[in-house]
Structure 1
Amino acid sequence: MTARPFIPSLVMSLSLLAAPALAQEASSGSGLALGVRGAYGIPVGDAAEGMSLSETFGNTVAPQVDLSYFFNRHLSLGGYFQYGIAKPDGCTDTTECSSRVLRFGVDLDYHFAPEGFVSPWLGVGVGYEMGSLKVGNDPTLAKLGLKGFDLGHAHFGVDLQLTRSIAVGPYISASLGQYSDLSAQVFEEPERSIDIPSDQKSLHVWIQPGVRLQIRL
């Protein structure tokens, strides 16, 4: 056999040997995914002793973005950021007020049937929460802020796999939190911050039904 036909034959043979390994790597499902969510937050419990969470912040309209890494097509770990906008239940038609609730943290999710058109998934996570309330306008503006840990949350959803890279579907989440820091500013006085005493801390829950769009990058 001459050198001229031998070299193309060798290249073709090596390509055939490498093809199964490349296919296996492509089908492993590992990689990044971007998620965009819209949720409706329902508060339950107290922000602190004697301070209703619904009257302090109210129900939220809460868009969220998250970035996850899939170790395989089933398991992913990622971070999220949520910005909730609300009007407290305690506000009246004659009182101008607004509130914001920011949440960020990490999630670990498991997808049960990633190859199917209908793919249920379940996740858990932890994070941090920051809420703020503004009442009135300058120069009669009062501000209240609360910060604390999201001690743990769980969410469950069902994805409709539109393509191999794009999925959309409903989900619901529930988180358990506790505020530990409180800040307040009345009119033009300096802002004051305190640690909430242990005997005045309360547990609260956010229940959030919503819809998520996830794109595999």
Structure 2
Amino acid sequence: MTSRRFIASLVLTFCLGALPAAAQEPKSSGLALGARGAIGIPVGDAFAESALKDTFGSTVAPQVDLSYFFNRQLSLGAYFQYGIGSGPGDQCEDGVNCRSTVLRFGIDLDYHFRPDGFFSPWVGVGVGYEIGKVEVGEGAANSYLKLEGYDLGHAHFGVDLQLTRSIAVGPYISASVGQYREGTVRLGGSAEVSNDLSDDAKQLHVWIQPGVRVQFRL
């Protein structure tokens, strides 16, 4: 074998050996799609003299989020959560259909501490908007109360198990502080009435949400 053929053979062998490593190299930036399932635990008051748990109850809260990774550690994303509440519970009369929902959406900024490890802890903060609704009765003649306001700030912490270079799953817990600022009421078939809550009626409330997240790097 001539020296030229020998060098060419070495180069080819090196390139072929490098292909698997290049294929397994994690993406440093790009989009990620996440799906979560959590239990929402209400703390505090929805408004003056009305506890959050008595208004909406606890929730089963699925969530989707779309994030952009600037690098392997830092990401910015938007989330949308639709919580199905247990309703006001014993506040409803027997035989009356009561249900509640809590809609939350906003943005998150997350930091991943060990993106190359199998166990990858992460923390994040964010802000958003929240709309809670409790309904009593059925059809067009039902009554409801809708409250909306800002998620003034939330923080979450989790641990990802990196199953593949593009799929991670793991537990997390979040806590958000919010305040409802506007209320809408409809009684029976009457027209709805909306008003800003007075300063005395505005109260801070907290949602604590333990859950599980799966994230796909696109």
TM-score category by the smaller chain?
Answer: 0.7 to 0.9
Q: Is 1:185 the equivalent of 2:179?
A: no
1:147 touches 1:181 (CA, 8 Å); kept in 2?
A: yes
When residues 210 and 92 of structure 1 are mapped into structure 2, their CA distance, relative to the original with a 3 A threshold, is farther
Aligned-pair CA distance for 1:93: 4.1
Aligned-pair CA distance for 1:178: 0.0
2:38 is matched with: 39
CA RMSD in angstroms comes to: 1.9
What are the residue-to-residue correspondences of 1:23-172 with 2, within 5 Å? 29-88=28-87, 89=89, 90-138=91-139, 140-172=141-173
1:3 is matched with: none
Letter paired with 2:135: K
Q: May I ask how many residue pairs the two structures share in their alignment?
A: 198
1:5 is matched with: none
2:36 touches 2:63 (CA, 8 Å); kept in 1?
A: yes
2:39 touches 2:211 (CA, 8 Å); kept in 1?
A: yes
2:206 is matched with: 205
1:6 is matched with: none
Gaps of 5+ in 2: 1-7
2:124 touches 2:156 (CA, 8 Å); kept in 1?
A: yes
Cα deviation digits, residues 49-90 of structure 1 (max 9, x gap): 011111110110010000000010000000000000012233
Where 1:54 maps in the other structure, the secondary structure is: helix
Letter paired with 2:65: D
2:4 is matched with: none
Cα deviation digits, residues 134-167 of structure 1 (max 9, x gap): 1012465111100000000000000000001000
Letter paired with 1:53: L
TM-score by length of 2: 0.86
Aligned-pair CA distance for 1:27: 5.5
The percentage of counterpart residues that share the same residue type is: 64
Where 1:200 maps in the other structure, the secondary structure is: coil
2:3 is matched with: none
Separation in 2, partners of 1:77, 1:93: 46
Where 2:200 maps in the other structure, the secondary structure is: helix
1:82 touches 1:102 (CA, 8 Å); kept in 2?
A: yes
Where 2:176 maps in the other structure, the secondary structure is: strand
2:5 is matched with: none
2:48 touches 2:203 (CA, 8 Å); kept in 1?
A: yes
1:135 touches 1:141 (CA, 8 Å); kept in 2?
A: yes
Gaps of 5+ in 1: 1-8
TM-score by length of 1: 0.86
When residues 92 and 211 of structure 1 are mapped into structure 2, their CA distance, relative to the original with a 3 A threshold, is farther
Aligned-pair CA distance for 1:199: 1.4
